[in-house]
Amino acid sequence: MKGVQGLYKRLGVIVAVLVLAVGHAGGSVSAQMLMNGAGATFPYPIYSKWFDEYTKVDPSVRFNYQSIGSGGGIRQIMERTVDFGASDGPMTDEQLKQAPAELIHIPTVLGADVATYNLPGNPKLRFTPDLLADIFLGKITKWNDPRIAEVNPGVALPNQPIIVVHRSDGSGTTYIWVDYLSKVSKEWEQKVGRGTSVNWPVGLGGKGNEGVSGQVKSTPGAIGYVELAYAIKNNLPAPMVRNQAGKFVQPSIQSTTAAAAGAAKNMPSDFRVSLTNPPGDDAYPIASFTWLLVYKNQSDQAKGQALVKFLRWAIHDGQKYTSDLLYAPLPSQVVSQIEAKLKQITYQGKPLLAAQ
């Protein structure tokens, strides 16, 4: 019967078209290996630049990175659903114990959390540690509060409510922020504490550094914490914060590097170190390393090799892309320590890098 054959023929054509679409997309790049990673939004701008540049260095491999937040990076690498994770909050001892195998933290760049805000007229503000803590605790609720005015003499502050914006997802950027607040405010440490996801006393939640900067950008009166690159690239202010030495410091590549100076000398072997509230006149108080999380024993040789080759490129050649994107490069002592660590990454007992 004509009708029947017509039906099946039509179905066949549709299926064939779809299969071709799938096959074409797959076939044209079948020579490439795909590495999947997920995690922090903090370094996403520089990672995406790296992955784009690295395909020119080594066209046989492609890195797909989804910025779902540090919490996601930790979770997914523990579940082994990705090849590498990324986080700017170091994993806790418990989390490392829960992981199916030994995980290594590889520092990649340095960045800074800034207290960005959105006020009409874009006044230049500066903050002290207790101001920040009390704003995020919800104790200071208006922009023209006398305590803010005290630290910012001569600046016209509007009579507007402060709209706090924080992260709604598990975030290393959050970790850096609350780690700092816990160090400078006993009340914060007791009431809220540290973590990639905390019980915020006040505020709206945004997803990712992208979500928070998006929210602050579109909400007059808002204040939130984002990585420096996100603030600058979106024409949002990156205000000075008073550091432990009592000086107001501007977040920048130099002040971030200064924050890492002390830690670089005494870097622990697993690279898990906190850089917040460091000593030093020029140090910006809310800076941090960001890490890539990889398994010490790789389960796939080709992938393991691609990974360590990329990591070695990242800590050397990749560092030249940092300044454009407002991240600070790794201190040189740290780089040599990382090199040594990379040589410890193995496949079935044999180091993957020694072959180079």
- Helix 172-184 and helix 129-137, axial crossing angle in degrees, nearest 10: 110
Rule CB under 8 A: say whether 237 interacts with other proteins. no
CA angle at 150 for the pair 145 and 152, rounded to the nearest 5°: 95
Residue 53 or 339: the one with the smaller Cβ distance to other proteins is 53
Residue 32 or 348: the one with the smaller Cβ distance to other proteins is 32
Rule CB under 8 A: say whether 170 interacts with other proteins. yes
Cα separation, 297 vs 329, in Å, equals 27
Rule CB under 8 A: say whether 214 interacts with other proteins. yes
Rule CB under 8 A: say whether 190 interacts with other proteins. no
Cα separation, 104 vs 204, in Å, equals 34
Cα separation, 122 vs 114, in Å, equals 16
Report how far apart, in Å, the C-alpha atoms of 211 and of each of 114, 205, 215, 305, 350 are: 15, 8, 6, 35, 42
Rule CB under 8 A: say whether 208 interacts with other proteins. yes
Site for other proteins in 88-127 (CB under 8 A): 94-95, 98
Site for other proteins in 56-95 (CB under 8 A): 62, 64-66, 68-76, 79-82, 94-95
DSSP-assigned letters across all residues of 278-322: -SSTT--SSEEEEEEEEESEES-HHHHHHHHHHHHHHHHGGGGGT
Q: What is the largest CA-CA distance in the chain?
A: 89
Rule CB under 8 A: say whether 200 interacts with other proteins. yes
Contact call for residues 118 and 325 (beta carbons, < 8 A) = no
48-56, 106-114, 284-292, 306-314 -> range binding other proteins (CB under 8 A): 48-56
Rule CB under 8 A: say whether 147 interacts with other proteins. no
Min dist. Cβ of residue 33 to other proteins (A)? 8
Rule CB under 8 A: say whether 196 interacts with other proteins. yes
- Contact string (CB under 8 A) for other proteins, positions 316-345, x = contact: ---------x--------------------
The total number of residues written for the chain in this structure: 356
DSSP-assigned letters across all residues of 261-274: HHHHHT--TT----
Exactly one of 12, 59, 138, 193 binds other proteins (CB under 8 A); which one? 193
Rule CB under 8 A: say whether 198 interacts with other proteins. yes
87 is written with which tokens? 């986080």
> Strand pairing partners for 115?
225
Rule CB under 8 A: say whether 152 interacts with other proteins. no
Min dist. Cβ of residue 163 to other proteins (A)? 6
Residue 24 or 316: the one with the smaller Cβ distance to other proteins is 24
Exactly one of 9, 12, 13, 52 binds other proteins (CB under 8 A); which one? 52
Rule CB under 8 A: say whether 310 interacts with other proteins. no
